[in-house]
Structure 1
Amino acid sequence: MLDSSPNPCPLCGSSSFLTLSHIHLSDVWGAYAEQWATSFSDDVIAHYGNGPVALRRCGRCELEWFDPALEGDAAFYTQLFTGGITYETWRWEFDRAAQRIANGARVVEVGSGEGAFLRSVLPRCSSVEALEKNPRAADLLRAAGIKVSEDDVRADALVRPARADVVCAFQVLEHVADVRGFLSALAAIVVPDGEILLSVPNRERFRRGLEPNDCPPHHLSRWSPRQFTAVAEVLGMELVLVEYQPPSLSHARASRQRSVRTALRPVTGPRVAQWTGRATARLRMPERRHARLAAEGRFASRGEYGHTMFAVLRRA
């Protein structure tokens, strides 16, 4: 049943929501230690606590978000990246995004990290600029000859609007509490007929158990394809395309293994069901077939997704 929410949807502003579950932060800290060998100081844990955080789903746009929105601060991220987690040097969506950028374009990327994407397009752009609040990453960007602002994008857009042909935000939206304000700032920076390139984790991807990085304080929202239509409506922009990263070979096999294992377990017992499921998955999904289905975009049509969704919006 839909209820009236004291904290409206951070994307569309609707006050109707479903409470899907509660995630206890004590479980999140424990999962970081177990899966990533990453621990946090008593001060960081005390700041966020160990209690439950509600996972809501908007009744209008279907965005899922955590309430309260416990946004990660500098201390949290310093300790997160001191452990077993690092910036990715290259992401699936970077290739898709690079194809959208014309020679001579003016590009602004928000949340650039260490700048792998901007470095790749720098030689053929008239200008590139990063908005990056991590001081260490900002220093690395400057060393690479990339202009950097450490201001918040919402403040930046007020004083420097309409300056970029392409504005990028890869794997950033899910970290932001003020989703609508963040997106509106991106729209203010891009010029008419320019494009916003976005990527977010796909909540419909194959997953096993609790993923600590998909919970607060790291991720504050969870996205499906439906939300990109809502983003276009909120911004008054055209949704040009949405693309889906295919599942990895191991995940494609695991989904098939799981279905066989579930069917056989009551009949054969868990050990035989697991062995049969693993063997069947390898037969049904050899490497060559996986590569062909991924290249043809066939996994998405079957409702099988990898980690990331990539979307392009155009300002009229």
Structure 2
Amino acid sequence: MIKSPLNSNAGQTKLIETFESKKIISAYKKMNIDVQRFFLEDSISLYKCVKTGYRFYYPFFSIGDARFYDDLSKNRKSYYSHRWEHNVALKFIDKSDSVLEVGSGFGLFLDLLKQKNVKAKGLELNPHAVKQCKSQGFNVEEKLIQQEALEHNSEYSIICYFQVLEHITEVHYFIKSSVDALKEGGYLIIGVPNNNPYLFVSDKYHTLNLPPHHAGLWNKESLIALQNIFPLKLEEMVFEPLEKSYKYFLNFHIHNSNIFIKTVLKTLNKYIPKILKKVLCKFIKGRNVLVVYKKVS
């Protein structure tokens, strides 16, 4: 039995589906990224933690390394960029807070905090990014959150990470260390892709939603479940409006859904495009979600 990396003590899992390795390798090749070294078997599997709803890819050796992310950032110049959730997260942070950002990249969020005169530190495993952050005067260390928690237990009032958690295999220990480094009453702010079925049901081989890029898939159910595992209380859950990625969403489903959905979407988009957009954006949540938890005793 494959154990859940989120909830190993009560982590019954079930197999959801499998993916052909050669198809994934081919998809990344179109992005000029060689990922063959991650796929030692003919297929990889997606499992679901029954207790929490968290879905994760297995085996874990299919998940990316530093070289992979270096290749990805070179091929996608916008990979490290300002994100929707950055501005949302700022609403929960005051000047008096001590902030730790895990996975700070090239310091884009740290710069926003600096503009607000907020004391902040970053952790980042990409040595090139660490060097660039330091050249800009940011306090960034090449260190794991597990080590930071040992050295600075219960020190921060805010710990945040954006588009990081979906890349982590050992998610239980990652989140536990984050909570350990928080003061009681402090806030854990997490931004992740929202893997709801309306976005991905027709997009099984969506390249960047697969290994080696993503290790796990998060949605409303699994994010709520964190309260049952860690001393956390969910305070806020904010979804990115579909409007921000509406064009991509509509075009993808017109070209890749079944014939009935294709026909309906094409017809409605031809005759009543504004009404279609208004209805879809009202009932379908967008590509990312930001959650805010409070550390409780």
Asked whether 1:20 is paired with 2:12, we answer no
Give the Å deviation of 1:170: 0.7
1-structure distance, mates of 2:42, 2:258 = 35
Deviations 1:136-186 (A, max 9, x none): 111121122110111111111111112211100111111111101000111
Give the Å deviation of 1:131: 0.3
Asked whether 1:59 is paired with 2:39, we answer no
Contact 1:197 1:310 in 2 (8 A): yes
Letter in 2 for 1:231: L
Asked whether 1:9 is paired with 2:4, we answer yes
Give the Å deviation of 1:312: 0.2
Match of 2:228 among 207, 214, 233: 233
Structure 2 counterpart SS, 1:206 = helix
Deviations 1:41-80 (A, max 9, x none): xxx5235435211100111111111111123112222222
Match of 1:115 among 107, 111, 120: 107
Asked whether 1:76 is paired with 2:73, we answer no
Contact 2:72 2:79 in 1 (8 A): no
Alignment map for 1:5-154 (pairs within 5 Å): 5=1, 7-13=2-8, 14-34=10-30, 36=31, 38-40=32-34, 45-49=36-40, 51-70=42-61, 71-84=63-76, 86-154=78-146
Deviations 1:119-146 (A, max 9, x none): 0111324411000010111112112211
**Gapped regions of structure 2 (runs ≥ 5):** none
Work out the percentage of aligned pairs sharing the same amino acid.
Answer: 22
Deviations 1:99-132 (A, max 9, x none): 1111232111000111111101113244110000
Alignment map for 1:156-235 (pairs within 5 Å): 156-204=148-196, 205-207=198-200, 209=203, 210-235=205-230
2-structure distance, mates of 1:107, 1:206 = 32
Summarize the Cα distance change of 1:264–1:286 in structure 2 as closer, same or farther, 3 Å threshold.
closer
Summarize the Cα distance change of 1:87–1:254 in structure 2 as closer, same or farther, 3 Å threshold.
closer
- What corresponds to 1:308 in structure 2? 288
Contact 1:141 1:148 in 2 (8 A): yes
Give the Å deviation of 1:215: 1.2
2-structure distance, mates of 1:132, 1:223 = 22
RMSD between aligned residues = 2.6
Deviations 1:208-250 (A, max 9, x none): 5311211111111111101122212211111001111122221
Structure 1 counterpart SS, 2:37 = helix
Summarize the Cα distance change of 1:53–1:252 in structure 2 as closer, same or farther, 3 Å threshold.
closer
Deviations 1:260-309 (A, max 9, x none): 973388xxxxxxx4xx743522544429x84x779xxx63xx2x122111
Deviates more, 1:178-187 or 1:25-34: 25-34
- Structure ID, larger Rg: 1
2-structure distance, mates of 1:260, 1:190 = 44
2-structure distance, mates of 1:49, 1:260 = 31
Letter in 2 for 1:64: R
Contact 2:106 2:130 in 1 (8 A): yes
Contact 2:5 2:169 in 1 (8 A): yes
2-structure distance, mates of 1:74, 1:259 = 33
1-structure distance, mates of 2:78, 2:255 = 30
1-structure distance, mates of 2:160, 2:125 = 15
Deviates more, 1:154-163 or 1:81-90: 81-90
Contact 2:113 2:119 in 1 (8 A): no
Give the Å deviation of 1:15: 3.6
Task: Give TM-score, length-normalised by structure 2.
Answer: 0.88
Asked whether 1:243 is paired with 2:266, we answer no
Contact 2:4 2:11 in 1 (8 A): yes
Structure 1 counterpart SS, 2:229 = helix
Structure 1 counterpart SS, 2:183 = strand
**Gapped regions of structure 1 (runs ≥ 5):** 266-272
1-structure distance, mates of 2:257, 2:29 = 32
Contact 2:254 2:261 in 1 (8 A): no
2-structure distance, mates of 1:140, 1:53 = 36
Summarize the Cα distance change of 1:258–1:75 in structure 2 as closer, same or farther, 3 Å threshold.
closer
Alignment size in residue pairs: 289
Structure 2 counterpart SS, 1:218 = coil
